[in-house]
């Protein structure tokens, strides 16, 4: 019996993914060095003709049909290289290795080139949606050799999430295109998470909202234009009682956010490309500030903070909804702008509409808004920035006023809204036909003869100041 699909790494994600493959009519074989994980999968899979597994690499490889399609769901980093090294001597030319983890995109390019020399195809393929997504339908972002993708396509299309029947997976581009897109997905994820947490904070501090009211508000919002996975789970989180003590769980959770690096990579690479993504940058910074808990506790008592003047609840709820909608749009705009630029820089030939399309279901940043974003990029494939789309002008214009009101209210009352204010500032700067950077050019020329261009004449100028 030759199995259709192989999977290395039978942790929660791997086990769920392989069961999903089997549910969709493909036979699958798993591999993990941990005997317990192998037996657990065999037990859960039920019929070993459909799902089987082994701790032995050769048994695993020999069980697969040709060309072999082997997905790795192992932690990003050196482990990916060592798993690949273990597989290489057992594979045949034309076999396919798919890295489903959050590998750094330059690692993917290196592995792609290395394996291409051996005639093996390599796919860096982001998978989003957490454990539940892996089991029931994730959004999958594959990049690699286009012809080889034809072998993977039927399986990925079957197991992926569906949006109105359409699979949330598509071939995205060569080399590390898939990993790059997943990295920016995570950057946007960081931005949206920061924004939802800021709005939670301001509703509590500016409107004395209880967790029960917050739960209701987020759940109401999730039924409207803010519909999204992150708003939905925020509503659920705010409704969760603590199992270990009295009260609500959210209040007991330490306010130090961890990170595994993908948001930071998005920001770092955006800097390299020269593309501004301040809503994502500040989301990374806020995780870093959150980690400085001990210093924050000391600093808290050193400075006075304004006493918060409460805002009328109805008004606060209206402007927070509008501000959150506005800043979600700005965050997607920045991430997609980065993708459009990276596509040129790295030759990915990305189709932004396709990316927005496969993000409409399954992934962590899925949201009602993505259907509108897909349409905007379908209408204009070359759209450099969502803010230039005619279909977004009204959405942004009608909500930016509330963003202004909320940012000024928060500033006066000493409540940090960095994601929202960075989104607003980005908007104000991006939509300004003249910025004061003429002065920076003059300063550069003044102290370092760095030259400047003029608004009224062609050429490069220098002045003896």
Question: Which residue positions form the known binding site for substrate?
Answer: 102, 128-130, 185-186, 190, 260, 287, 444, 450
CB of 257 to ligand 6PG, least distance (A): 7
Contacts 24+ apart (CB under 8 A), 350-357: 350/172, 350/173, 350/177, 350/181, 351/172, 351/377, 351/381, 352/377, 352/381, 352/383, 353/377, 353/378, 353/381, 354/170, 354/172, 355/141, 355/172, 355/181, 357/163, 357/166, 357/168, 357/170
Cβ proximity to ligand 6PG, 259 vs 441, nearer residue: 259
Whether 175 is catalytic is: no
Of the pair 73, 316, the CB lying nearest ligand 6PG is at: 73
- Does position 281 interact with ligand 6PG (CB under 6 A)? The reply is no
Query: Could you tell me which stretch among 224-232, 242-250, 260-268, 342-350 binds ligand 6PG (CB under 6 A)?
Result: 260-268
Active site residue 182: yes
What is the closest distance, in whole angstroms, from the C-beta atom of residue 390 to ligand 6PG in the complex? 31
**Of 14-22, 252-260, 301-309, 424-432, which segment contacts ligand 6PG by CB under 6 A?**
252-260
Give yes or no for a cis peptide into 67 (omega within 30° of 0).
yes
Mode of pairing for the β-strands spanning 28-31 and 166-167: unpaired
**By C-beta, is 365 or 407 nearer to ligand 6PG?**
365
Q: Which stretch binds ligand 6PG (CB under 6 A): 160-168, 257-265, 418-426, 432-440?
A: 257-265
Angle of CA points 387, 193, 287, to nearest 5°: 115
Q: Residue 151 and residue 80: Cα distance in Å, rounded? A: 22
Q: Is residue 132 part of the contact set for ligand 6PG (CB under 6 A)?
A: no
Active-site pick, 50, 189, 357, 405:
189
Helix axes 177-207, 105-117, angle to 10 degrees: 160
What is the C-alpha separation between 206 and 228, in angstroms, rounded? 24
Question: Distance between CA 92 and CA 184 in Å, rounded?
Answer: 33
Q: Kindly name the residue from 37, 50, 175, 182 that is annotated as catalytic.
A: 182
What are 154's two structure tokens?
């039927």
Residue 258 or 457 with smaller CB distance to ligand 6PG? 258
Q: Are strands 162-163 and 166-167 parallel, antiparallel or unpaired?
A: antiparallel
Please pick, from the candidates 20, 27, 234, 262, the single residue that binds ligand 6PG as defined by CB under 6 A: 262
Q: Which residues are annotated as a binding site?
A: 102, 128-130, 185-186, 190, 260, 287, 444, 450
**What are the distances in angstroms from CA 395 to CA 30, 373, 417, 432?**
47, 12, 21, 18
Contact partners, residue 448, CB within 8 Å, separation at least 6: none
Q: Does 129 bind ligand 6PG (CB under 6 A)?
A: yes
For ligand 6PG, the closer CB: 14 or 45: 14
Residues 120 and 70: beta-carbon distance below 8 Å: no
CB closer to ligand 6PG, 8 vs 410: 8
Residue 363 as a binder of ligand 6PG (CB under 6 A): the answer is yes
**Token pair recorded at residue 209:** 């909202």
Binding positions for ligand 6PG, 364-393, rule CB under 6 A: 364
Q: To the nearest whole angstrom, how small is the minimum distance from the Cβ of residue 287 to ligand 6PG?
A: 8
Kindly tell me which of 20 and 262 has the beta carbon lying closer to ligand 6PG. 262
User: Where is 134: in which H helix or E strand?
Assistant: helix 130-136
**Residue 130 makes contact with ligand 6PG by CB under 6 A:** yes
232 binds ligand 6PG (CB under 6 A): no
Asked if 259 interacts with ligand 6PG (CB under 6 A), we say yes
Give residue number: closest CB to ligand 6PG.
128
Residue the block writes with tokens 């695993």: 60
- Does residue 24 sit in helix, strand or coil? coil
Strands 69-72 and 96-99, how do they pair? parallel
Q: Which of 1, 252, 260, 454 binds ligand 6PG (CB under 6 A)?
A: 260
Instruction: Kindly state the number of chain residues that form the binding site for ligand 6PG, as judged by CB under 6 A.
Output: 13
Which tokens go with 84? 């690949």
Q: How far is the CB of 264 from ligand 6PG (least distance, A)?
A: 8
Give the CA distances from residue 102 to residues 105, 106, 454, in Å, rounded to whole numbers and listed in that order.
9, 12, 45
Site for ligand 6PG in 172-191 (CB under 6 A): 186, 189
Map residues 89-128 to x or -, x wherever contact with ligand 6PG holds by CB under 6 A. Answer: -------------x-------------------------x
Closest CB to ligand 6PG among residues 279, 399: 279
CB within 8 Å of 371: residues ≥ 6 apart: 163, 360
Beta bridge mates, 29:
6, 52
Residues that bind ligand 6PG in the complex, under the rule CB under 6 A: 102, 128-130, 186, 189, 258-260, 262-263, 363-364
Q: Annotated catalytic sites, by residue?
A: 182, 189
């Amino acid at each position: 019996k030759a199995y259709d699909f192989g999977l290395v790494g039978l942790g929660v994600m791997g086990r769920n993914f392989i069961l999903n493959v089997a549910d969709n009519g493909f036979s699958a074989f798993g591999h993990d060095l941990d005997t317990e994980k192998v037996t657990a999968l065999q037990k859960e899979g039920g019929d070993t003709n459909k799902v089987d597994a082994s701790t032995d690499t050769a048994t695993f490889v020999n069980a697969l049909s040709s060309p072999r399609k082997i997905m790795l769901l192992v932690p990003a980093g050196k482990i990916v290289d060592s798993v690949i090294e273990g597989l290489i001597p057992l594979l045949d030319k034309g076999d396919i290795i798919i890295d489903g983890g959050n590998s750094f995109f330059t690692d993917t390019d290196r592995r792609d080139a290395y394996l291409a020399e051996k005639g093996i195809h390599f796919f860096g393929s982001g998978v989003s949606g957490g454990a539940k997504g892996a089991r029931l339908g994730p959004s999958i972002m594959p990049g690699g050799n286009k012809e080889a993708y034809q072998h993977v396509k039927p399986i990925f299309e079957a197991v992926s999430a569906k949006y109105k029947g359409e699979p949330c997976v598509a071939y995205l581009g060569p080399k590390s295109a898939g990993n790059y897109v997943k990295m920016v997905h995570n950057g946007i994820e960081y931005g949206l998470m920061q924004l939802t947490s800021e709005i939670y904070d301001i509703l509590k501090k500016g409107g004395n909202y209880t967790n029960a009211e917050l739960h209701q508000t987020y759940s109401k919002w999730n039924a409207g234009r803010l519909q999204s996975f992150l708003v939905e789970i925020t509503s659920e989180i705010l409704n969760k009682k603590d199992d270990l003590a009295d009260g609500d769980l959210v209040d007991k959770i330490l306010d130090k956010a961890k990170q595994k690096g993908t948001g930071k990579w998005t920001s770092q690479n955006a800097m390299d490309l020269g593309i501004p993504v301040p809503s994502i940058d500040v989301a990374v910074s806020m995780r870093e500030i959150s980690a400085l808990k001990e210093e924050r506790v000391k600093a808290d008592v050193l400075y006075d903070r304004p006493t918060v003047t409460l805002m009328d609840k109805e008004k606060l709820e209206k402007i927070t909804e509008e501000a959150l909608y506005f800043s979600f749009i700005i965050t997607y705009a920045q991430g997609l702008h980065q993708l459009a630029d990276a596509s040129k820089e790295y030759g990915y030939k990305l189709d932004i509409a396709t990316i927005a399309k496969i993000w409409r279901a399954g992934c962590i940043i899925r949201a009602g808004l993505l259907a509108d974003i897909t349409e905007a990029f379908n209408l204009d494939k070359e759209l450099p920035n969502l803010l230039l789309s005619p279909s977004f002008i009204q959405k942004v214009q009608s909500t930016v006023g509330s963003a202004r009101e909320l940012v000024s209210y928060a500033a006066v009352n000493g409540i940090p809204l960095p994601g929202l204010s960075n989104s607003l500032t980005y908007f104000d700067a991006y939509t300004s036909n003249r910025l004061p950077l003429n002065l920076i050019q003059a300063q550069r020329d003044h102290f370092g003869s760095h030259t400047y261009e003029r608004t009224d004449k062609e050429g490069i100028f220098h002045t003896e100041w």
